[in-house]
Amino acid sequence: MKTFITILTLVFTTTYCYSWGPTGHRAVGKVAEQHLNKKAQKALQQVMGQESLAMASTWMDEIRADSTYDYMVDWHWVTIPDNQTYDQSLKNPHGDVIQTLERVIKELKSHTLSKQDELQRIKILIHLVGDIHQPMHVGGRDDRGGNDVKVSWFKTDSNLHRVWDSDMIDDTKLSYTEFAESLYKPTETEIATLQKATVRDWANENMTYRNQVYDIGNGKLGYAYSYKNFHIVRQRVMQAGVRLAGILNEIYGK
């Protein structure tokens, strides 16, 4: 048993980085705001006041400075090895992004939470829908979601996780509103298809990008790597926003 616990501690280390960074997360929130129906907008305003989905999206990263919330650290990511499903994979005893999202959605749908707990669950939902769409947050290797893969980004030291979190997005020099506005606008049919996918489907989508993500050559990354991969970043941020809106409409907009 001690050996098993030690292995879990090594595999599920709690030092994954933030995902998307503030610009990416807020863009997810902004996209979601554009797809909320009026009933959901009104209900969310009653719970959140004047705080937008975009600004609430970074709460789970901001609270990392407060040890009171250390129990949430592992909720940002999940490990699913290649050729395994989530059900087959070794589970983190502290929780993961899939488990947490499924639980939080169920809790919000119950409409039995106190206003304080409801607000917290909404903020968790907003953030983790963004997280699970970042390819490095569904890890499959023993490299802490790419944190241990040291690379340079335009001759500046970085790591593969950070490249996907923020380096590619930050290099656009766009605000979160500008970045959100620049994303592809899906049709109603495409929106419906995106919103039918489950939390586990979202995680499985990330696994299809692994070979491309890790195709880093000598590790000196820049224009060529961004050219090959930035469309994935843009697509995942858009998908996260549309799907977040779908969940919130289902909870509050009926």
Supply the CATH number for residue 132's domain.
1.10.575.10
Give how far the C-alpha of residue 230 lies from the chain's centroid of Cα atoms, to the nearest Å.
16
Which positions ≥6 away from 49 have C-beta within 8 Å?
A: none
Contact 21, 170 (CB under 8 A): yes
- Work out how many domains the chain is built from and give that number: 1
pLDDT for residue 17 is more than 80: no
Structural domain span for residue 238: 2-252
Q: What is the pLDDT of residue 134?
A: 97
Distances (CA, A) of 52 to 21, 30, 152, 165: 17, 8, 35, 22
pLDDT band at 18 (very low <50, low <70, confident <90, very high): low
Higher pLDDT, 16 or 116: 116
Write the pLDDT tens digit of every residue in 93-143.
Answer: 999 999 999 999 999 999 999 999 999 999 999 999 999 999 999 999 889
Q: Which of 25, 250, 237, 231 minimizes the C-alpha distance to 127?
A: 25
Q: How many residues does the chain have?
A: 254
Model pLDDT for residues 26-55, shown as the tens digit of each residue: 999 999 999 999 999 999 999 999 999 999
5 pLDDT tier (thresholds 50, 70, 90) = very low
Question: Would you say residue 2 has pLDDT above 70?
Answer: no
Rounded to an integer, what distance in angstroms lies between the CA atom of residue 28 and that of residue 72? 21
Give helix 97-110 / helix 199-207 axis angle, nearest 10°: 160
